[in-house]
A and B are shown apart, each in its own frame.
Chain A
Amino acid sequence: MEYAQGFSRDYPAKPADVYLFATCLVDQFAPDAGLDTIRLLEREGITVHFPQAQTCCGQPAYSSGYPDQARAVARQQLDIFPEPWPIVVPSGSCGAMLRHDYPKLFAADPVLAPKARALAERVFELTEFLVHVVGFAHDDSGAPCTIALHTSCHARREMGCHETSAALLAGLTQVKVTGQARIEECCGFGGTFSMRFPDISEAIVSDKVDSLRATGAERVVSADCGCLLNILGRAAKLDEIAGRSEATLPGEHIATFLWRRTGGEPS
């Protein structure tokens, strides 16, 4: 991880076309976040291209210590973005994989290394892209509400996206974003970490749920589906255990929240 490089980079002018790398989680578990990402971008006059050949960035195997398997999957993504358009990713974690880890993963391959580096240069996390490339500015048309923002660790530390997410939410006049104890602390997901060390993972995510609930926010918003599935899944489990039928800590992807607040029709 090179924490400096994600924070200052040259941003292109607003393009006419972009690619969407939606991530496997969004494809399978949260397609609304993907659709809303497309709507947000197309409203800006950008044509969004979704290569049907995309699968997964390969991070699960990469971070689990299976580099060959990660490479095999990452290899599948290297050739599916042939035009020189930006690649927008509605996830800081998967975005960081493409942007920072692909060059490392293929470093020893003389043919694929330049490809991986060139691809990495075109990768933008969604909120980063909306702030720095699109210049997102839309009126908030929703009712007043209070929310909490959770930024994934990769988005925060490798991509600097805690700032862009916060900036987008700050632009919504009726939305109050609450402070939060230990806002920068991990939610305890960590991919296969949550399966390998379920007790430690549970301890961390329970604390995260507690500090989010303590804010009094009516929902949590995040630009990463992995964290959301973990946090919301834990909160719902706690509701279930307590016999509550209503979700006490609902949440949604920031793309959906932004689209909903700025006049878009819900998916």
Chain B
Amino acid sequence: MSQPIRIHAARDFKERSLAALNDPAQRKNFRGAMDFLQMKRRAQFGDKDELTTLRDLGEAIRRYALANLPELLEQLERNLTANGIQVHWAETADEANAIALGIARRVDARLIAKGKSMVSEEVGFNHAMEAGGLETLETDMGEYIVQLAGEAPSHIIMPAIHKTKQQIAALFAEKIPGVAYSEDVDTLIRIGRQVLRRKFAEAGIGLSGVNFAVAETGTLFLVENEGNGRMCTTVPKVHIAITGIEKVVARLEHVPPLNSLLPRSATGQAVTTYLNLISSPRKPGELDGPEEVHLILVDNGRTQAYGDLQLRATLQCIRCGACMNHCPVYARIGGHAYGTTYPGPIGAIISPHLRGLEATYPLSFASTLCGACVEVCPVRIPIVDLLVRLRNEAQAREGSADATLRGSGAARTTLVSTIWNGWALIYSRLRMYRITSWFMSRGRAQSPVEQGAWTRSRTPLTPAPKRLRDLIKETNQ
């Protein structure tokens, strides 16, 4: 889905999150799914020492890749090209889509069968292809359901996590000709399998994402359970892989630790059903596989994050979704409320680079900074520190040294800045603090009963009759 720039970012986010909070069925779905995924992940990492070692290594691998990113991208390009895979570079979403459209027109493709790719969501791929006269078909079961419903994914690993089987049963019965209503999950999956199976052969192009791009060997590493990714990368005549420039790793041997962290963190599986390692198009004599393989390397704002040593850590992400699975805010409002391709904590820290802070700043504030995400991140992204930094950027004075990002200062208001200046004045000057807190204690009987947002949900805060500092003074006298 292509997403229009939001002018009223804060208001829109509030409206969407309020709608989500007031949808009890959806909240139950998310809560149940989050509990389940947390439990599954915990079961995978019973050995804390093993987890610590693995996370250290995962972080080191990703940091090494980022520290050498330009060289590794060139090496990747060299090796892929030598293997016969064509490499394209896209600075923006539009450029990425134009490259894919160009390929589609050259090979006269009408239908693109899509494996799961969050980058394709990010660039609004389906919308752009449809505008160009092509049909796109999502083939991951969750993505298929979401596409059929005309929605966007609400989770990066489980796109249809917000839907119940009853809703899906009704959707299938309504949208797929000849299908009767059934809530039986096996039946529903069999229906999806049958519908989609025919389409892989019809599609002129298969599209996929990439989990890890190995520079050393020129290999695209794809992780999945269903087999639709393998279908998309094997059956159509042309395979296009699309991914962010940060997905590169230096060596093949760097993949096993990351591949151990990824599914265990994501869904609590020790391993996914398929690891699909693609290093070239069909070679002479081979009987299947695409004749052309393309890789589109997408920037779309990632170089902004890369340009800042603190924010660069954002690009360590391997897209497991554990941060959202453990986020108390995500569990309450779900993925759609964020209004971005990537929801939850990772969405809050990556989206400002993709779409600008002006459109995304509310997300950095929509966190209690509880750190549950940091605790589970398999590559140790300091998400809380990055959220705080983005809050600083969002409220920085335009033109000041603290305003370094696209959209910095978008959340700054004179009123709020004045409040914080006043607050700082009180708490940084002892006399001011003494006087203010003394008045608060003495005036406790007159403490307001209405304390804005606080008392909408809680009883009012009332200062104690005497401050601790007064009680201590009295004791010492």
Interfacial residues, chain A to chain B (CB-CB below 8 A): 1-3, 22, 24, 26-32, 34-35, 38, 50, 52-53, 55-56, 58, 60-70, 72-73, 75-76, 104, 153-154, 157-158, 182, 184-186, 188-191, 193-206, 229-230, 233-234, 236-237, 240
- Segment of B118-126, B199-207, B243-251, B388-396 in the binding face: B388-396
The answer to whether A29 and B17 have CB atoms under 8 Å apart is no
Report whether B333 and A198 are in contact in the complex, using a CB–CB cutoff of 8 Å.
Answer: no
CB pair B370–A55 under 8 Å, yes or no, is no
**Chain B residues near A (Cβ < 8 Å):** 14, 17-18, 21, 35, 328-329, 332-333, 364-372, 374-375, 382, 384-385, 388, 390-395, 402, 411, 417, 420-421, 423-424, 426-430, 433, 437, 440-441, 452-459, 461-464, 466-469, 471-473
A99, B118: Cα distance in complex, Å: 38
Q: What is the distance, in angstroms, from A265's C-beta to the closest C-beta of chain B?
A: 13
Q: How many A-B residue pairs have CB under 8 A?
A: 192
If A199-B14, A234-B457 are given as contacts, then 11 extra A-B residue pairs at C-beta distance below 8 Å, sorted by A number, are A22-B468, A24-B427, A69-B423, A73-B423, A76-B427, A157-B374, A186-B372, A193-B365, A198-B453, A233-B461, A237-B455
Q: Is the CB of B428 within 8 A of A38?
A: no
B427, B441, B463, B472: which has the most chain A beta carbons within 10 Å? B427
| Docked complex Cα distance between A34 and B467 (Å) | 10
CA distance A234 to B454 in the complex (A): 9
Nearest 5 interchain pairs by C-beta: A65-B391, A190-B368, A233-B458, A186-B370, A69-B424
Pick the contact of A199: B18, B369, B440, B455 (CB < 8 A).
B18
C-alpha gap A154/B437 in the complex (Å): 26
Chain A residues, CB < 8 A from B417: 66
A205 to B454, CA, bound (A): 12
Kindly state the separation between the CA atoms of A65 and B374 in the bound complex, as whole angstroms.
19
Q: Can you list 23 A-B contacts (CB < 8 A)?
A: A1-B384, A2-B382, A28-B464, A50-B469, A52-B469, A55-B428, A63-B388, A69-B420, A69-B421, A75-B428, A153-B370, A184-B372, A185-B370, A186-B370, A190-B368, A197-B17, A197-B329, A199-B17, A199-B18, A200-B366, A204-B328, A205-B458, A237-B459
Are B371 and A154 interface neighbours, CB within 8 A?
yes
Query: Looking across the interface, which residue of chain B has its beta carbon closest to that of A23?
Result: B468
Q: Is the interface of A mostly helix, strand, loop or mixed?
A: helix
A61 and B332 form a contact (CB under 8 A): no
Question: Which partner residue on chain B sits nearest A156 by CB separation?
Answer: B371
**Neighbouring A residues of B390 by C-beta, 8 Å:** 65
Choice from B365, B393, B457 contacting A198 with Cβ under 8 Å? B457
B463 adjacent to A38 (CB under 8 Å): no
**Chain A residue at minimal CB-CB distance from B430:** A53
With A64-B391, A65-B395, A200-B366 already in contact, the answer to whether A205 and B457 are too (CB < 8 A) is yes
Q: If the complex has contacts A63-B388, A158-B371, A195-B453, are A230 and B458 also in contact, measured as CB distance less than 8 A?
A: yes
